[in-house]
Chain A
Amino acid sequence: MGEMGILLAAATPGAESGSLEWAVFIAQKYAGMFLNATWTTLYVAVIGTIVGFLLGFLVGVINTSQVHPEDFILKRIFSKILRVIVMIYMEIFRDTPMIVQGMIIYYGLRQSNVEIAPVVAGILVTVLNTGAYMGETVRAGINSVDKGQEEGALAMGMSHVGAMIHVILPQAFRNVIPEMGNTFVNNLKMTSVLNVIGVSELFLMAKTAGGSYYKYYESYLVIAAIYLVLCFIFNRLFALLEKKLEGKSDYVLATEYLDNE
């Protein structure tokens, strides 16, 4: 264990010690565990949210796509089926609690003899949840882009998909960044419900650590602080991203062309 170990193992607080002392003690004693759990929480949230965003964009695009009555019949049928699937998916995941979804997916897969690690199931639940919510956000983001933008693109010969990729989605993306920040921070905190399927994230660690000294209050204070710091950092990062995408407020005149007016 070395020097660190000696330092950490020092002084178990006594009966007269206050909560703060206990919290510091638990944080130090289980520092390694908390660190690992923070890492797990982070990557479930990050992977879950990023993949979830992609899914959300797909869902949003499907929900705002238009079919033309003169389009090829197979295209129309395919698009109709796709929309129904998306609708069912969104209803299911927005109308049931994430904690229940976690249980059903994890135990459901186990019962059908699919060996799935709790973390993988946790990420899957986060992805599906995020996708369902982001789908609506993206749809709103797309609809908030002026209709003329698409007309401008169509009028120069772009397809609907081309207009989406080059013109509308980049603008919609900017519009939904605040909501994406919300979703991400929310996911970071919602990973806590994944303790029920045994994902060794922060909540589960706090429960374990608290249990060994019967100091639950103090133990949860520790992870509250960790959540707070994490979310604070990510809120700032999203604010930065938003600012960055806004671009410069001024522009440089291309003076080399000035005399050609």
Chain B
Amino acid sequence: MSDAIIKVESLRKSFGDHEVLKKIDFEIKKGEVICIIGSSGSGKSTLLRCINHLETPTEGEILFHDVPIKNTGRALSEYRTKVGMVFQSFNLFNNMTVFDNCMSGTKKVLHLEKEECKSRAITHLKQVGMAPYIHAKPSQLSGGQKQRVAIARALCMNPEVLLFDEPTSALDPEMVGEVLNVMKKLASEGLTMIIVTHEMEFAKNVSTRTIFMDDGYVVEDDIPQNLFTNPKNPRTREFLKRYMES
């Protein structure tokens, strides 16, 4: 029995002949905030999508509290209720109001009492500063607002881990801050998170561990103080240099 919540073991993922992930191993413990950085096409998002089985791993295993996750069926659904996901494109349900979006999981998946669903939705919408918008439809919100609602929706499930797939990449620059602030707050409250991001400052300041990925490999996995100021691997160094220049 290890104290890891999620453990990724020898994970490989190919699309056709193209191998996107090449034997990935890492784990996340309770309270950790892991930021995954790397250039586009390095496999970061695919890794995150494999973790909650939106992509089926070609080889290897995802373990949740030491239990391997199957690709289908009830056990997978149950696992997904405990590992939330926030997407780059928000994926709020367009046919529902903000309120209904936040109650969709608790009502239709967890089958909680109506009052409990409501109170969780309000609590978490307040937490992200979106409670006044409960009657709005997603199409009536700005990108930053949508993403904050999406975060609230994921929090309503009381997940053990929350996965963020480039949560600010689709946002206008002036909206990035409001989302990052919410995430910072969540980190300080001790929520366990894995965040794929291009926001280097955020990764540096908020993560407890940063992973640099390149060409399907985990190149470096270290505390941000080391990785950003004193990277061991030349590829990490080169990536960071390119980033600072731009």
A positions within 8 Å CB-CB of B: 68, 70-71, 146, 148-149, 151-159, 162, 166-167, 170-171, 174, 247, 250-255, 257-258, 260-261
Contact = CB atoms under 8 A, between A and B. Distances in A.
Given A152-B93, A154-B80, A253 B87 contact: no
B31 interface: no
B77 A157 contact: yes
A27 to B, nearest CB: 46
A253 B77 contact: no
Contacts of B105: 156-158
Contact of B137 (A247, A257, A260, A261): A247
Contacts of A152: 87, 91-93
B34 to A, nearest CB: 18
Interface stretch (B36-44, B124-132, B186-194): B124-132
A148 B131 contact: no
B78 interface: yes
A166 B54 CA distance: 19
A251 B135 contact: yes
Interface residues of B, number: 42
Nearest to A174: B95
Given A156-B104, A257-B125, 6 more contacts: A158-B109, A162-B108, A170-B95, A251-B133, A252-B135, A257-B131
B54 A254 contact: no
13 contacts: A68-B71, A149-B93, A151-B87, A155-B85, A157-B78, A157-B105, A158-B77, A250-B140, A251-B135, A251-B140, A254-B134, A260-B131, A261-B132
Given A148-B87, A252-B135, A158 B108 contact: yes
Interface of B: 52, 54, 56, 70-72, 77-81, 84-85, 87, 89-95, 97, 104-105, 108-110, 122, 125-126, 129, 131-137, 140, 153-154, 157
Given A156-B80, A157-B105, A253-B132, A167 B137 contact: no
The 6 A-B pairs of least Cβ separation, nearest first, read A152-B91, A257-B131, A157-B81, A155-B85, A148-B91, A156-B105
Contacts of B79: 157
B158 to A, nearest CB: 12
Contacts of A174: 95
A57 B104 CA distance: 23
Contacts of A167: 93, 95, 104
A174 B94 CA distance: 11
Contacts of A149: 91, 93-94
Contacts of A257: 122, 125-126, 131-132, 134
B91 A157 contact: no
Contacts of A260: 126, 131
B137 A251 contact: yes
Contacts of A261: 129, 131-132
Contact of B54 (A71, A154, A170, A251): A154
A70 B70 contact: yes
A166 B72 CA distance: 20
Contacts of A171: 94-95
